[in-house]
């Protein structure tokens, strides 16, 4: 990434902190990063941890920034974006080339909505990261509008790669599917881990041991799957001996309709993402 690119994060929550932490870990200069938020405590934490610039004034921070990352909740994105209209109009009047790249991490809000709220024909990249970004193990889907240059796409990709893996999508509608798979996905695994810990306790293990075994098993399975050159289905088959203990558990999952339950749950997630765009327009 070009270390002279100036970045402004609007919102100083966990996701901004994760991305900033990943960038600083990659030796990105803190003086090129600004975070904006009305919460002074959140700004103080970022400033003390990463030595970046902070402000409560979005307008000031966005006057010269090359990239603006909208890292606020979907419910307030409209008001935040509309608050930037004057700044972007002034920059456009100076030169269209001076307009920044806008990156949004808000679920359910389309690029066209963001475009309308900003009041300018700017380059927009929508992305859907997830909470493992907090430990630089995130997964993110990216979509760029037609106004986005190759250089701007590279900047967005490098930002997200600072906190994990990223993939590009050709269809913005697929952001809803990314939300269902990886955006909300960590919660599915947390639920399964929670259930496994509870089951281990019911079978006689103390909670600390059940937790340690469950979390290490989840980490080991994911690490093995990611490093393997075979599918997760094949890995499952390799650990499932005919007539053995694993087969008994898997047969119960299958007979209980686990696959269908997962499919319906993820569809409900994607549908909710679509509905949010309508509700927040």
| Per-residue pLDDT tens digits for 232-273 | 999 999 999 999 999 999 999 999 999 999 999 999 999 998
Q: Is 13 annotated as a binding residue?
A: yes
pLDDT given for residue 108 in this prediction: 85
pLDDT given for residue 94 in this prediction: 84
Bridge partner residues of 54 (DSSP): 35
pLDDT given for residue 1 in this prediction: 66
Q: Is 14 annotated as a binding residue?
A: yes
pLDDT given for residue 93 in this prediction: 87
* Spatial separation of the C-alpha atoms in residues 85 and 117, rounded to whole Å: 8
Q: Is 226 annotated as a binding residue?
A: no
Question: In angstroms, how far apart are the furthest CA atoms of the chain?
Answer: 73
Bridge partner residues of 33 (DSSP): 7
pLDDT given for residue 26 in this prediction: 86
Q: Is 132 annotated as a binding residue?
A: no
Q: Global pTM? A: 0.88
pLDDT given for residue 134 in this prediction: 85
β 124-128/101-104 pair status: parallel
Q: Is 12 annotated as a binding residue?
A: yes
Give the CA-trace dihedral at 84, 86, 88, 93, to 10 degrees: 180
Encode pLDDT of 52-82 as tens digits: 999 999 999 999 899 999 999 999 999 999 9
Could you give phi then psi for residue 101, rounded to 5 degrees? -80, 135
Query: Which residue positions in the chain have pLDDT lower than 50?
Result: none
Q: Is 11 annotated as a binding residue?
A: yes
The full set of domains in the chain, from first to last, is 7-174 (3.40.50.720), 185-276 (1.10.3730.10)
pLDDT given for residue 276 in this prediction: 83
Q: Is 277 annotated as a binding residue?
A: no
Bridge partner residues of 102 (DSSP): 68, 124
């Amino acid at each position: 990434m070009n270390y002279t690119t100036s970045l402004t994060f609007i919102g100083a929550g966990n996701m901004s902190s994760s991305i900033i932490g990943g960038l600083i870990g990659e030796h990105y200069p803190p003086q090129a990063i600004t975070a904006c938020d009305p919460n002074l405590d959140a700004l103080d934490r970022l400033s003390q941890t990463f030595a970046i610039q902070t402000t409560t004034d979005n307008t000031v921070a966005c006057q010269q920034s090359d990239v603006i990352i909208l890292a606020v909740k979907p419910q307030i994105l409209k008001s935040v974006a509309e608050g930037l209209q004057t700044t972007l109009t002034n920059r456009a009047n100076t030169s269209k080339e001076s307009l920044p790249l806008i990156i949004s991490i808000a679920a359910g809000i389309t690029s066209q909505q963001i475009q309308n709220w900003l009041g300018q024909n700017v380059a927009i990249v929508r992305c859907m990261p997830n909470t493992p970004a907090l430990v630089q193990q995130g997964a993110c889907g990216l979509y760029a509008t037609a106004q986005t240059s190759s250089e701007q796409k590279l900047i967005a990709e490098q930002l997200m790669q600072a906190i994990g893996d990223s993939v590009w999508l050709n269809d913005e509608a697929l952001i809803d599917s990314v939300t269902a798979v990886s955006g909300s996905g960590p919660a599915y695994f947390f639920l399964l881990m929670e259930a496994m810990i509870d089951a281990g306790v019911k079978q006689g293990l103390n909670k600390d041991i059940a937790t340690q075994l469950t979390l290490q098993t989840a980490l080991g399975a994911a690490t093995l799957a990611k490093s393997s050159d075979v599918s997760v289905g094949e890995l499952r088959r390799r650990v499932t001996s005919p007539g053995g203990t694993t087969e008994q558990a898997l047969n119960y999952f299958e007979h209980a309709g686990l696959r269908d339950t997962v499919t319906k749950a993820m569809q409900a997630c994607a549908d909710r993402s679509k509905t949010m765009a309508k509700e927040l327009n």
